[in-house]
Amino acid sequence: MHLKTYQVSMEIAGNTAMWTRPDTGDSPCSYPAPTYSAVRGLFESILWGPAVLVIPQKVELCSVPQFHSYATNYGGPLRKADSIKKDNNYQLFATVLTDVCYRLYADVVPNPNKAHLPESAIRWDRQTSSPGHAYQEIFNRRLKRGQSYATLSLGWSEFTPSYFGPFRDTTRVCTELPDINISSMLRGMFQKGYASPYQAVYDTDLCIHHGVLVYPERGDCL
């Protein structure tokens, strides 16, 4: 069955971003552009609703990727048991992006898997003849007002944006960028929407061409 799609878009910028490459280990390095799941998370941070699926389409780079060394004290649950017991942090080194700006695009469709939706989402879905259109309208209103469902972040939670909202007239896509090839890029780990099981999925042979990264279409997992 063909699901009617509705488009949403937004611009986001910030001083620092980290789109972690899983293959870079305990001194992580960022991809030059946000992952598919990160883009989905940014849209859902403005407006989240389990009755719809947000399907990222592409990201436009409006700043040249600049990598920078970064260090922070880590005190999270991935420390060794002895370090947690003694309340000892350790210094985490990373390679992050600085002065980033992106234009993000996504399609919105009704969630075809309603088996695991919460009751509130099922009620909303029944009362709405076009959940994708409703999401689009509410999203655009919230974006213009600067409202969000959750705090937006550029990868890591401490990297909050300096701007998010509609496209600005002063922003332009870096079409002069040389091609940036990405041999493997994490797509996501929970790809079927609300309450979906863990499944790490990767896209291969991607390319940022003229400053634009287009996410591949996949029928096996949205």
pLDDT for position 130: 81
Q: What is the mean pLDDT of residues 62-87?
A: 86
Q: What is the pLDDT of residues 136-170, one digit of tens each?
A: 999 999 999 999 989 999 999 999 999 999 999 99
Q: What is the pLDDT of residues 167-214, one digit of tens each?
A: 999 999 999 999 999 999 999 887 666 666 777 899 999 999 999 999
Find out whether 1 and 108 touch, Cβ atoms under 8 Å.
no
d(CA 31, CA 65): 9
What lies within 8 Å, CB to CB, of 206 at 6+ separation is 181, 182, 185, 213, 216
DSSP symbol at 216: P
Q: What is the pLDDT of residues 24-64, one digit of tens each?
A: 988 899 999 999 999 999 999 999 888 888 999 999 999 99
d(CA 62, CA 171): 7
Q: Using H for helix, E for strand and C for coil, what is the string for 3-50?
A: CCCEEEEEEEEEEEECCECHHHCCCCEECCCCCHHHHHHHHHHHCCCC
Give the three-class secondary structure for 135: helix
Domain boundaries, the chain: 6-214
Q: Is the pLDDT of residue 129 over 80?
A: no
Q: Under CATH, which number does the domain 6-214 receive?
A: 3.30.70.2660
Q: For residue 86, give the amino acid letter.
A: K
pLDDT for position 204: 95
Find out whether 46 and 12 touch, Cβ atoms under 8 Å.
no
